[in-house]
Amino acid sequence: MCLWLVTKKCLLLSDYWGGQRTEVLYNKMKHLKRLEIPKKTTSMIQPLDVGWNCQYKHFIREMYNHVRLYDLHFNLAQRNNIIKMNSLAYNQLSSSKFISMNLHAWYQSGYLKYNPGSFQNVKEVCFSFSETRCCQPNCTNASFVQCSFCSKVMCFLHFYDSYHKH
């Protein structure tokens, strides 16, 4: 993170990693309040670990599983494919449909006083649909994902290879 670019009041939650613990790094930034997550508690009170990372990993796992299941000729282990895969997963999880899910992670971590209520997870939003075929014209491929932005159900080719991003 480029802390010198932050100009408004902000809160930085950092874990116990030594490279982030040097107070000299933060002394000049009067607009920054830094709280440190205590050692060995990250999995319990870090919002990404509590809620978001699991959902993100589920999306990535679905890509790998689909490629294996349908014997698609994609090498997802190549550097450019890893970057593309992570970009698409991050983009899908950036949808407004996941705001409540993200708020719930902050609530579960103890940073929000109110419970944001029920939410839909990645499986429910992106991988629970009844269509068996891709929505693209003349495409007969098996469906893979429902876009969290436009709700189109697409095959892996039209989602991944055509880089369906919002």
List Cβ neighbours of 26 (8 Å cut-off, separation of 6 or more): 3, 12, 32, 34
Exposed e or buried b for every residue in 54-85, given b needs 16+ CB within 10 A?
ebbebbeebbeebbeeeebebebeeeeeeebb
β-bridge mates for residue 166, sequence order = none
Q: Are 155 and 131 in contact (CB under 8 A)?
A: no
Q: Are 123 and 64 in contact (CB under 8 A)?
A: no
pTM: 0.84
> How confident is the prediction along the chain (166 residues), in pLDDT tens digits per residue?
555 566 688 888 888 888 888 888 888 888 888 888 899 998 899 899 999 999 999 999 999 999 999 999 999 999 999 999 999 999 999 999 999 999 999 999 999 999 999 999 999 999 999 999 999 999 999 999 999 999 999 999 999 999 999 9
Please classify residue 17 by burial: count the beta carbons closer than 10 Å to its beta carbon, then call 0-12 exposed, 13-18 middle and 19+ buried. exposed
For the chain, how big is the Rg over CA atoms in Å? 19
